Chains A and B, each alone.
Chain A
Amino acid sequence: MRCRRGQSAVETMMVVPIVALTILSLYYLWSVIFASENAHIRAREYALHGDAYLPDSEGVSGSAPFSGSNYSRADSTSFRFEATATDESLAVFGHSDPIEATAVITSN
């Protein structure tokens, strides 16, 4: 009869890496989604409120119908405001994904 001692240890050793990998994957997925949400929201807010919401130095830049502490006067029915925001997912095994989101307000 074959010795069965250690079978649980072997099974555990097989399952643990898979579970760990899964958890890491989910963690990475969460960080990507979070970074994407963050980038999109920051881009949108900058496209609407410009520096009043986020300074350029915070990974976001562009133009907005907002200056000082108020929205700008609507000068023309032909317009374009655009903001780009960047973020990065958390690093897993030294790998992370940069996320860039652009928000556009345009007439055509």
Chain B
Amino acid sequence: MALHPRFQPRRRGQAAVFVALCLMSLLLVVAFSTNTGIVVNDRIRMQETADLATYAVAYSEAASLNDITKKNQAIADAAQDCRTVLAHGGAPWVWPCNCTSTDPGAEIALQLCKVELDMAILDFVSTASYGRTVTPALEAGMATAKANFAGSERRTTFFDDIPGSPTAMGTYWVTWTTNFAGGGAIPSIADFQQMRDTAFNYQFMQFCGSHCAPSGLAMSPTYTLPTWFYKDDKEPDVWVAGRVAGTPAKRFLDTDYRSGGTDNGYFGASSTGGDDLLVAYAVAKPYDGSVGPSNLSGLAANGNSTPSPVYQAKGIDYPEMSMYDEYRARMAGIQDGLTGGLDPATLVMLDGIELGKSWDTSRFEH
């Protein structure tokens, strides 16, 4: 039974309410989609920034390792020059009326060799120092992060300042001894040990007979000098792991932003740190080079430290030194390593920081 029109509900404005509800829902959908789109885009840019910045660190370290390898080769070359000089063209050293166990002329040559070796060693130490290897690499990472994502910057008090961090100054060392100037140890990009028992000697003529008559050939004592370096690591690798993290600077993107408090953030995270950060990781590494011979097999790895190096200097068959300044950098995967615990690693944290804003320093600008 139909109601009398007087008692029927009024329907005027029903469409308006319906349209308003639809509009509101659609507006929410569009807003959420826009928000998601921007956040996804940010995440992609962060991954790009992480990749490129980490690669920049690895490339800079590869260049440093090439420089280090060249300096190491210079030490080996200086040692070889010494052998060549002491070999004396295959002829014994001759000092008139010398009946001692050494030859004065050869000893002078040996002292000059030591000076040359020391200069090359100190050049190596300087080149391998933390300030010329890790520092420029971290700066390259920061510069690359900034160039790709305005507002991002390295958080300087994390990996490189915490004692024990793989990137912290003092985690790896180059330890050295010279022939005249003593020695020491300074922070470096990796642990470098030095060959300190490289043997040198020479052959000379003794004149112990009456009226300085030659009495025969003799060998000098064997001098063991510090020379080149090897990288005292399990693998000839240096790793770089980078992280870029941050939250969008625009508050509307964070659907439940509360300054200084805990919230659910977008996608159920917290904008005040922790899980809310959009995070991108990347791994890269220098490869394809070798700073110096490994010490894994002890002295056998040091081909020039045979008991009679002079005779090698005559000729022939210098064992390969395995110094290749061909380092380049490549992207890597977590599965490639970072698990042994013995490989040198540089960790760089390039978190997004919105400068000049005190309310949240983890936010980056669009």
Contacts and interface: CB of A to CB of B under 8 A. Distances in A.
B139 A108 contact: yes
B28 to A, nearest CB: 11
A77 to B, nearest CB: 5
B280 to A, nearest CB: 12
Interface stretch (B54-62, B152-160, B199-207): B54-62
Interface in A24-43: 25-26, 29-30, 32-33, 36-37, 40-41, 43
Contacts of B45: 40
Contacts of B19: 11, 14-15, 18
Residues of B in contact with A, size category: 35 or more
Contacts of B65: 74
A64 to B, nearest CB: 10
Given A11-B19, A33-B41, A65-B328, A76 B5 contact: no
Contacts of A103: 48, 52, 148
A54 interface: no
Interface in B222-275: none
Interface of A: 1, 4, 7, 10-11, 14-15, 18-19, 22, 25-26, 29-30, 32-33, 36-37, 40-41, 43-44, 47-48, 65, 70-77, 79, 102-108
Interface in B99-123: none
A22 B30 contact: yes
Contacts of B213: none
Given A19-B26, A44-B51, A107-B139, A72 B328 contact: yes
Given A11-B15, A11-B19, A40-B45, A108 B143 contact: yes
B211 interface: no
Given A11-B18, A40-B48, A77-B64, A29 B139 contact: no
Contacts of B286: 74
Interface in B2-21: 5, 11, 15, 18-19
